[in-house]
A and B are shown apart, each in its own frame.
Chain A
Amino acid sequence: MTVSKRIVLHFPKRLVDRPIVYRLIKDYDLEFNILKASVTPQEEGLMVLELKGEREDYDEGIRYLTTTGVRIQSLSQDVIRNEERCTHCGACITICPTGAFEVDPLTRLVKFDNEKCLACGLCILACPPRAMEVHF
């Protein structure tokens, strides 16, 4: 079974310049997608990753990460659509940076693809009837 998860990695100062992600990908056969990476003024490194691979490889990879001293945080925050409230207007379509919303050209219903959602939160307040909700 393949899994795809989004996680936030906090690298303490001493680990910032070590090739940890490289090893993760190479040794555990995981696909990755860097969604955000930065180094704070205190030189702590922060990286938001989407990791994809076989369940076993994924779990081993996470185990490896913890042994290195990297702190892992799951992006458990989930954005869901309240189907009762959504009017299918489409105002969210040009707001979402990841293209999680799509209009069906025939019915003009707005599809929401939770898989594409990064939980950035931009649509929450931009949706006029407030149909998009954050769940933790």
Chain B
Amino acid sequence: MSKTIEEINEKIREGKAVVVTAEEIIGIVKQKGVNKAAQEVDVVTTGTFGPMCSSGAYLNIGHSKPRIKLGGGKVYLNDVPAYAGFAAVDIYIGANALPDDDPRNKVYPGEFNYGGGHVIEELVAGKDIRLVATAYGTDCYPRRRLETWINIRDLNETVLFNIRNACQNYNVAVNLSDRTIYTYMGVLKSDMGNANYSTAGQLSPLFNDPYYKTIGIGTKIFLGGGIGFVAWHGTQHNPNVLRSDNGVPRRGAGTLSVIGDLKQMSPRWLIGTSMLGYGCTLTVGIGIPIPILSEEILQYTAVSDDGIFAPVIDYSDAYVQLKPDILDEVSYAQLKSGKIVIQGKEVPTASLSSYPRAVEIATILKEWITSGKFLLTESVAPLPGVESGITFKPLKERPLEE
């Protein structure tokens, strides 16, 4: 059995496509078998909703009268610095940016109540944002200071452009030390008092297409409540890691860079987020449709939490010191049971990414496709796969002075 994306799109246009979520497909395959399920199902939708730090947005704010050249100057959005290293009125706001006067971790653990992620959420929510900029002034762009309210509806391009999202797998974080630590994986209590994980498991996009056979550059996706695209592989994309027999990586592996129009998006799916003692970030909703082109591809989407494994890592030492040490490997089924046993100790688990919201994303995407308003795209180039030979290199540090 094999189908093409064009055939599936034809069915979508006719309102005849059979679309199920990556959660629903598990039961369907159990009941009907791979062969029959692959004939019946046309698309499987996935979803994930979690903090994704390498996110940000670029904005073109339009020219002021007289003109100002923000490039090379300084720009603040609600006191949060935006990057102004482009042309006159293009700026980029990163999710982790913090106001200059934020105390950070001076009062430990820092609260990180407001940062770039929050600016993006408020912008998308249609709130006015305070822009304060200084520039050096040129003959053609003489103005040196700009203070104005801006609103997303008045701006030119407003584009979410995230350079690493939707990580294929992620560490389970614990803390072996004797004090509480504050990490990007949440608050970790001493002596393995808790274990935090952060993927949607069986619903997560890249777990359902482990070898990137359908998801590639140009794939149309659900992004932040609107429509976006896979722009490239994400930073730290590392396909060449240990994998299970079902192809699913057992370590952090593939990542995606995604792009989409902020004006279509909604603050329900882009949430400014504060990690105590760590910093600010953005919680992003992503959903990716997987066209069932063959039985093999369907088989991948049938993966369930008991077939996906993640490494348990000590964030008080091994992670910090870039040591390869892994305490154990656990399945997402074990993680979701609420406790895991590590080195003989029962450790309660918690998730940083929201499974119910991942289900909601997969369901919305399913509705978009079933109702004919979302057609699938053929990717224009594949993501680097296992054969690419990519390895994830540590920094080769060369001290400046001997």
Contacts and interface: CB of A to CB of B under 8 A. Distances in A.
Contacts of A126: 186-187, 276
Contacts of A93: 338, 348, 350
A33 to B, nearest CB: 23
B273 A128 contact: yes
Interface of B: 49-51, 109, 111, 113, 186-187, 189, 193-196, 271-276, 283, 336, 338, 348-357, 359
B49 A128 contact: no
B274 A88 contact: no
Contact of B352 (A89, A108, A109): A89
B187 A108 contact: no
B351 A89 contact: yes
B351 A91 contact: yes
A94 B352 contact: no
Contacts of B111: 125
A121 interface: no
A89 B271 CA distance: 12
Contact of B354 (A87, A94, A95, A130): A87
Nearest to A103: B338
Interface string A51-89: 000000000000000000000000000000000010111
Interface string A9-47: 000000000000000000000000000000000000000
A94 B275 contact: no
A109 B350 contact: no
Contacts of B353: 89
Nearest to B109: A125
B274 A91 contact: no
Given A90-B354, A128-B275, 14 more contacts: A89-B352, A90-B350, A90-B352, A91-B196, A94-B196, A94-B348, A95-B194, A103-B338, A125-B111, A125-B274, A128-B273, A128-B283, A128-B352, A129-B274
B274 A130 contact: yes
A2 interface: no
A88 B113 contact: no
Given A128-B275, A129-B271, A129-B273, A107 B356 contact: yes
B356 A108 contact: yes
Interface in A93-113: 93-95, 103, 107-109
